[in-house]
């Protein structure tokens, strides 16, 4: 698929591409110089709710893509693909710190709604059946 990018940063997709360095087709940040497709970036913006959080998600994706590549040595030269993954993880963490996670959750946490005998809203919990041990 074609990579579309407008230097005026007129769209959320352009802003994401600019922030992650994915502005030139066939010279992208993915392994083997791959680019994110337009639908992938649009999907990240939709899922994350903002272009800034989509940048964090793109960096998280890049860290995962690069993490599977091994470190190798040849003729006294060492190249560590895991260093690339770590760099992307750091950038993702920075963007998450600044702009948050989707759905208002912090990284590594869940939004939890309590529904038991200690809930603030007992009208929505049928406690009698649980107390007596009978099922409804």
pTM: 0.68
Evaluate whether 62 touches 81 at the Cβ level (below 8 Å): no
Q: Is residue 96 assigned to a domain? A: yes
pLDDT tens-digit series, residues 20-62: 999 999 999 999 999 999 999 999 999 999 999 999 999 999 9
Q: Is residue 2 assigned to a domain? A: no
Q: Is residue 112 assigned to a domain? A: yes
Q: Is residue 59 assigned to a domain? A: yes
64-89 average pLDDT score: 81
Q: Is residue 82 assigned to a domain? A: yes
**pLDDT band at residue 75 using 50, 70 and 90 as cut-offs:** confident
CA distance 121 to 71: 54
- Please give the tally of structural domains in the chain: 1
pLDDT tens-digit series, residues 81-108: 778 899 999 999 999 999 988 754 444 4
Reduced DSSP (H G I as helix, E B as strand, rest coil) percent helix, strand, coil of the chain, to 5: 50, 5, 40
> Bridge partners of 73?
78
Evaluate whether 89 touches 59 at the Cβ level (below 8 Å): yes
Q: Is residue 115 assigned to a domain? A: yes
- The single-letter DSSP state of residue 106 is P
Q: Residue 115: what pLDDT?
A: 54
Evaluate whether 16 touches 45 at the Cβ level (below 8 Å): yes
Q: Is 104 left (phi over 0), alpha (psi -120 to 50) or beta?
A: left
Query: Among 51, 37, 41, 43, which residue's Cα sits nearest to residue 3?
Result: 37
Q: Is residue 51 assigned to a domain? A: yes
CA distance 118 to 125: 10
Q: Is residue 6 assigned to a domain? A: no
Range(s) of the domain holding residue 90? 12-129
């Amino acid at each position: 698929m074609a990579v579309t990018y407008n230097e005026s940063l007129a769209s959320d997709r352009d802003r994401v591409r600019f922030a992650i360095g994915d502005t030139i087709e066939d010279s992208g940040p993915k392994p083997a110089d791959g680019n994110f497709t337009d639908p992938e970036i649009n999907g990240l913006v939709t899922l994350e709710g903002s272009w800034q959080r989509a940048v964090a998600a793109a960096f998280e994706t890049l860290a995962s893509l690069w993490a599977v590549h091994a470190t190798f040595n040849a003729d006294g030269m060492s190249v560590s693909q895991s260093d690339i993954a770590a760099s992307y993880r750091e950038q993702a963490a920075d963007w998450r710190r600044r702009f948050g996670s989707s759905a208002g959750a912090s990284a590594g946490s869940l939004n939890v709604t309590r529904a038991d005998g200690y809930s603030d809203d007992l009208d929505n919990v049928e406690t009698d059946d649980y107390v007596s041990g009978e099922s409804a």
